[in-house]
Amino acid sequence: METADIQARDHAHYLHPFTDHKALGEKGVRVIVRGEGIYLWDSEGKKLLDGMSGLWCVNTGYGRTSIAKAVYEQMETLPFYNSFFNTTNLPAVTLAAKLAEIAPPGFKHVFYTGSGSEANDTNVRMVRRYWDVLGQPQRDVIISRHNAYHGSTMAGASLGGMEGMHAQGGLPIPGIVHIGQPDYLSAGRGMTEEQFGIRAASWLETKIHEVGADRVAAFIGEPIQGAGGVVIPPSTYWPEIQRICDKYGILLIADEVITGFGRTGRMFASELVGIRPDLITFAKGVTSGYVPLGGVLVGQRVADVLVGQGGEFQHGFTYSGHPVACAAALESIRIVQDERLVQRVAEDTGPYLASRFASLDNHPLVGFTNSCGFVAGLNLVRRKGATLHQHEWFEPEKAVGMVCRGHMFNNGMIMRAVGDRMIIAPPLVMTRPQIDEMVALIRHCLDLTYADLRERGWVKE
Ligand code: PXG
């Protein structure tokens, strides 16, 4: 089929996620047809370097025959059976034991879902069930953060702090409240990063008092915010959050849908930022995105109540513990372990990416760069000031990030724009020479963006 035909069919029938359907129809959709390693090809034969791992998920890279084989063989043997009525299946059990082995200490149980959103819905139901069983049903409020992303189901979108999502469909649902995000760039003026970390964590304690300490069930957060623009909190933030959760006895949920399975140079980022969560949300990288799978890792404290005290938790999905998805996960995790991808990101390619990415700091359009393992971001700046908080940023209406993203894509580089912050989360298999190639490509596209913005008269020299 010709690209134009595919585009016409797409527009006629396919409603895309988070998309202005009318506007996309006018532009024409891009068609991705093939992937290998860290590269993709579109229907016109154009090669693209995928700096976003699909959508933060293709951690082991494209074209893994062994995952395809594992999936094929499982489909032949047993394509599906449910886990509801006193039944289980081999891949689901094997994966559960594997997850218990690689999870932080104290995590022995898993509840499977089909996605990260469903996993966060599960969290809402599970923490409320936990407090019910303990005889404290009034503890039903979950505290989250503005600009968080926790999915797009009713509960996922409610936990998330995206204003645009809340505005459509009467969200958040009752019992979910939000505090500010630990974003030093937008809220840390006049403080050191460390001071700001403590300040941002103190908003949790303030909110607990506002809600009433005996009403708060849990706090949820991404160790590093992903969709919100790779917001890497100050090192003081998470330990202080942990201290506050402990002080009031509230459950801590780490949403590791993006940060799980090696992205930050640890198997789970909770270990990196110094927290001991009670529940961990996962999805995406668990299967390297080859087949949908998500779930909740359940720590000792919650398991003791849910499992230890008995009674039915009336929750689950047809595809909870899907044998094919679990087979894909087992093979993806095997690759991560056998190829020592987590260690590589921690000790070799992660630090290399950090230093190469930081070299973009001297570009006239770059006001700030930072990274953690295999996530990184840079902020486009209108005019640089002497310090971070003296930079002049672009007016949001100009959507300069989107202009930059266009130049990136047209020149074979996939980088995501969140406002005027350009972010990457490359496959964990990316090598040093590929990092050089990527950073050179990003610099070239920044040059093109700069020239474009100068022509429009949007940059100050
Ligand atoms: N939690 C986090 C932290 C996520 O990043 C979800 C939950 C939901 O997972 P599912 O599988 O239901 O999509 C996510 C998903 C973006 C983008 O624009 C990020 C996600 C999804 C779609 C777009 O960066 N993350």
Q: What is the pLDDT of residues 205-217, one digit of tens each?
A: 999 999 999 999 9
Q: Does 205 lie in the same domain as 92?
A: yes
Q: Which CATH number belongs to the domain containing residue 393 in this structure?
A: 3.90.1150.10
Distance 116 CA to ligand 1 centre (A): 7
C-beta 151 within 6 A of ligand 1: yes
Residues 298 and 365 in one domain: no
The token duo for 319 is 């595809």
Q: For residue 22, is it within any domain?
A: no
DSSP 231-273: B---TTHHHHHHHHHHHHT-EEEEE-TTTTTTTTSSSSHHHHH
399, two tokens:
């959507």
Task: From 324, 280, 272, 273, select the one nearest 300 (Cα to Cα).
Answer: 280
The mean pLDDT of the chain is 97
Q: Is 116 helix (H, G, I), strand (E, B) or coil?
A: helix
**Helix, strand, or coil here: 32?**
strand
> For residue 281, what are the β-bridge partners?
255, 296
d(CA 119, CA 162): 18
Distance (Å) from CA 440 to ligand 1 centroid: 28
Which structural domain, as residue segments, surrounds residue 362? 31-60+342-456
Whether ligand 1 lies within 6 angstroms of the CB of 279 is answered as no
Average pLDDT of 380-406? 96
Say if CB 244 and CB 210 are below 8 A apart.
no
One domain, residues 153 and 289: yes
pLDDT at 169: 84
User: Tens digits of per-residue pLDDT, 416-442?
Assistant: 999 999 999 999 999 999 999 999 999
Name 218's bridge partners. Answer: 142, 251
Quick one: CA dihedral 132, 138, 140, 144, positive or negative? negative
Count: domains in the chain: 2
Burial call 424-445: b when 16+ CB within 10 Å, e when fewer: bbbbbbbeeebbeebbebbeeb
Q: What pLDDT was estimated at residue 461?
A: 72
Domain closes at, from 313, 338, 363: 338
| Residue where a domain terminates, one of 296, 322, 338 | 338
299 against 169, higher pLDDT? 299
Give the whole-number percent of the chain exceeding pLDDT 70: 100
Let me know whether 148 and 237 are in one domain. yes
pLDDT value, residue 413: 98
Co-location of 360 and 279 in the same domain: no
Task: Summarize pLDDT for 241-282 with one digit per residue, the tens.
Answer: 999 999 999 999 999 999 999 999 999 999 999 999 999 999
Site to probe by mutation for ligand 1, drawn from 124, 149, 261 as the one with most ligand atoms within 8 Å of Cβ, is: 149
The band of 443, judged by pLDDT with boundaries at 50, 70 and 90, is very high
Q: Is 420 in the pocket of ligand 1 (CB under 6 A)?
A: no
pTM over 0.85: yes
Q: Are residues 252 and 173 in the same domain?
A: yes
| 283 close to ligand 1 (CB < 6 Angstrom) | yes
Query: Is residue 292 domain-shared with residue 381, that is, in the same domain?
Result: no
Q: Are residues 244 and 217 part of one domain?
A: yes
Residue-level pLDDT at 84? 96
Residues 297, 158, single domain; the answer is: yes
Residues 43 and 93 in one domain: no
pLDDT value at residue 310 = 79
Whether residue 460 is predicted with pLDDT greater than 90 in this model: the reply is: no
Dist. CA 231–CA 227, nearest whole Å: 9
Nearest to 44 by CA among 1, 88, 102: 1
Query: What is the side-by-side order of every strand in the sheet holding 39-42?
Result: 32-36, 39-42, 47-50, 413-414
**Does residue 331 lie within any of the structural domains?**
yes
Q: In terms of domains, do 209 and 347 share one?
A: no
Q: Is the CB of 424 under 6 A from ligand 1?
A: no
